[in-house]
Amino acid sequence: MPFVLIWNFLKKYFRWEINSINIFRSVFSVLFLIIALRFADLQVLSNGKFFNNTSEGVNTFSQIIPSSRGQILINDYSKNTLVQVTNTQSLSNVFVEPSALKSYLETSEESLGEVAQRLAGGLNLDYRQVEDFLNKEVTAEIPKDYTVLERYIDNDQKDAINYLKFPSQSPIFEDEELPAYSSWLGYENLEIRSYPERNLLSNTLGFVIRHKESRENAKNSGCSKLVSMNEERGTVDTFIPGDYSKGQYTLGYYGIEQKYCTELAGLNGKKVFNDEAGTVVEDNSEVQNGVNVELTIDINLQRKTEEILKEVFKSNTNSVGTPKHGSALVIEVKSGKILAMASYPDFDPNEYNEVKNSEAFRNSVTSIDYEVGSVIKPLTVAAAVNEWQLEKTDNEGNRLGISPDWTF
């Protein structure tokens, strides 16, 4: 009865024609008004918490694409070619986040043993060792945010990690509903630097360590520009997404590797994936690989200079003792190019961790102070020889250049 009265009222005052179209319009308008009021309540009265939570519910996973380190090259002027004195091999480590794994196990139907079984089977590792490792990490008083499970894995193991993180993308498990391990499992790419010429030019080159260093160490080693640029781009390699304080960096120490750490390292890229399907949802930043650094050093002169320096060093070793250090420098007079830079003692950058005395890392040509007068004398003589100044005098009759008998 009330509905009939309301309907008659609307007919009388708004002169509506009763038909299916007007009824539909009326119902649609009322529903639209209800929805609009509800949105206003959620967004305004609830301070927008509904929409924030909805957006946060879209799970995404960011993958950092590491840049490739540039190479260092020197010259072989006899052949008019460049010689690469560094090589880089890309390897990967499997890591887990024990704190996140603990949270996963608390909410998942899987047991630690079942997780260990899937990991061991996928990575072809010993089940007991994996189970013991995970159990030790998860049951620690304060579980770590990051730890390495297996070092230097192959491509098949990398594929297995991706399948364990995103089972729906696996051609093997696509029909099975398996839990995803993307919240606590992953692999990190490493660049292992090698030096084919071993000790040659080692004090000038420096070396790259085989593990990643912290943000603090990166900034303290003179690579603060590398840190800040990656942070600005959002491409920091970190095992806790968004926490740049946990950033990891491949660093060079001493020599060219440290001096040009930003230029050689390059800048990482980033891709964002859907956490469930593993599909790319956006491509944020392109990788900027490191640039190559070319030195004016001539490989043949460098070898000869180091050979002579070592002989001089040894010939001056006697019962009194051994020289602390020695150095030699070969400069092209006309251009000022450094053709050879030798320092002794030297070291093998491939085995930097075997060096017991850090003095071997120093380039005594550039890192030890000398009296300016003593250093300038050979340059003065070289200039005189180059200009062939013989038997010439200045306005006061003083000799210029080199005497006829080549004595000084």
Give all strands (DSSP E) within 182-337, no chain letters.
Answer: 185-194, 207-208, 213-214, 248-249, 252-253, 266-267, 269-274, 280-285, 288-289, 293-298, 326-331
Lowest mean pLDDT among 94-98, 137-141, 162-166: 162-166
**Mean pLDDT calculated for residue range 207-231:** 91
Q: Where in the chain do CATH 3.90.1310 domains reside? A: 60-70+86-293
Query: Which residue in 109, 96, 108 sits closest to 143, CA to CA?
Result: 96
- For residues 386 and 194, the model is more confident at 194
- For residues 45 and 211, the model is more confident at 211
- For residues 28 and 259, the model is more confident at 259
The highest-confidence range among 158-172, 245-259, 363-377, by mean pLDDT, is 245-259
Helix 98-107 / helix 127-138 crossing angle, nearest 10 deg? 90
**Mean pLDDT calculated for residue range 87-98:** 91
Class of 60-70+86-293 in CATH: alpha beta
Count CA within 13 A, CB hemisphere, residue 96.
23
Q: What percent of the chain has pLDDT over 90?
A: 46
- pLDDT band at residue 363, thresholds of 50, 70 and 90? very high
Q: Tell me: the pLDDT tens digits for 302-333?
A: 999 999 999 998 888 887 888 888 899 999 98
**Mean pLDDT calculated for residue range 241-262:** 90
Neighbours of 33 (CB within 10 A): 10
Assess whether pLDDT exceeds 80 at residue 49: no
